[in-house]
Structure 1
Amino acid sequence: MSLNIRKVENDDLEQLVELINAAYRTQSGRSWTTEQAFVAGDRINKTQLINQLGQINFELFIGEAQSKQLVACIGLSYQQDSVEIGTFAIDPSIQNSGFGKEILAYAEQFVMQNHPSITHFLMYVLDVRTELMAYYQRRGYQLTGKTEAYPVAANVGQPLVPIQLVEMRKDILRQQ
């Protein structure tokens, strides 16, 4: 089974907020991406999502299962020569089924085909999420050694333990 991947639409917003919060803040089903032990509170609300979608340098793709149910999303924030991957979530009940790998590959391919000035991907992962860092390393992302404080002021949850974000990077290798 594969995903139908498309850009987000206004009708998707409620379901998308539920998906993101479930993936980041609950422990259920096959979930392994939860931050529940490290961060309390919602990861996103509808107003935050609308504001994010209103940014001219941001695109959000969603993945639908065959039942048209929204089960995945991935966001792309464009900078000068890089794109940050974030707002990346998979329905906890179907994690470990290859959908994360599928939508990540789609997003990377989309950037390579449509944004020739982009030279690399960036993402930020909680430093306590070693299994998530290993997952991205298997997909070509490398730790850069750069860290950032957890963005408490962004209203994306309150840390329960000391945490910070680590930067990961993947260079784009284009055929000449």
Structure 2
Amino acid sequence: MSEIVFRAATANDIAALHPLIERAYRGETAKAGWTHEADLLFDDRTSAEELGGLIADPARVILLAHDGDILVGCVQVARAGRDRAYLGMLTVEPTVQASGLGRHLLAAAETEAVARFGARRMEMTVIHRRAELIAWYGRRGYAPTGETRPFPVDPPRPALDFVVLEKAL
């Protein structure tokens, strides 16, 4: 990978962003990487309409990572209170996972949370069955708060509850 460039997503990016997220989280293509949910969930991860709403929301930003002209990752940062931000949808193109891009996206998200929202803490949720992913975030300073949240499906699926992780920024 050459030099990665980060920038905020716009509505014009949805056509490239949506398939990247689906490739990384769902289906057979996701299994090329190690952070997928393809063995746990079988529906779409998001929709183009949902992404449009996130991009239009001034309390959120989706940072895109480009390697040259190629979109290789993204991460969402949202205001979650006066001094707190929420990190979500950290996505790395499955074929370049384990390249260090995830760490760079995480660092960019933390920097953005401080600069854009004045955050002093970052929180995220991870499906509790994803022990290897929770450990990865733990090595980057995120610790479980002891709080869990239900996975947003109807009917509820307790086997997919989220654990809440947090880090001081």
* TM-score, reference length from structure 2: 0.90
Equivalent residue, structure 2, for 1:99: 101
Equivalent residue, structure 1, for 2:9: 8
Equivalent residue, structure 1, for 2:85: 83
The Cα shift of 1:160 comes to 8.3
- Counterpart AA for 2:93: D
Unpaired runs of 5+ residues, structure 2, are none
- Please identify runs of 4+ aligned residues in structure 1 that moved more than 4 A: 158-161
* Structure 2 CA distance for aligned equivalents of residues 46 and 115 of structure 1: 25
Task: Provide Cα deviations, 1:31-69, integer angstroms capped at 9, x if missing partner.
Answer: 001101111111011011111222221111100012x11
Select the structure with the greater relative contact order (CA < 8 A; seq sep ≥ 6): 1
Q: Residue 149 in 1 paired to residue 145 in 2?
A: no
* Structure 2 CA distance for aligned equivalents of residues 55 and 7 of structure 1: 12
Residue 159 of structure 2 aligns to a residue whose secondary structure is coil
The Cα shift of 1:10 comes to 2.2
Task: Provide Cα deviations, 1:64-121, integer angstroms capped at 9, x if missing partner.
Answer: 012x1111001111022210000210100110001111111112123234443x2200
The Cα shift of 1:15 comes to 1.0
Q: Percent identity?
A: 28
* Structure 1 CA distance for aligned equivalents of residues 28 and 142 of structure 2: 26
Residue 84 of structure 1 aligns to a residue whose secondary structure is strand
Q: How many residues align?
A: 166
* TM-score, reference length from structure 1: 0.87
Asked if the contact 1:27/1:34 (under 8 Å) is kept, the reply is no
Task: Provide Cα deviations, 1:137-169, integer angstroms capped at 9, x if missing partner.
Answer: 01000011100111015xxxx998821111000
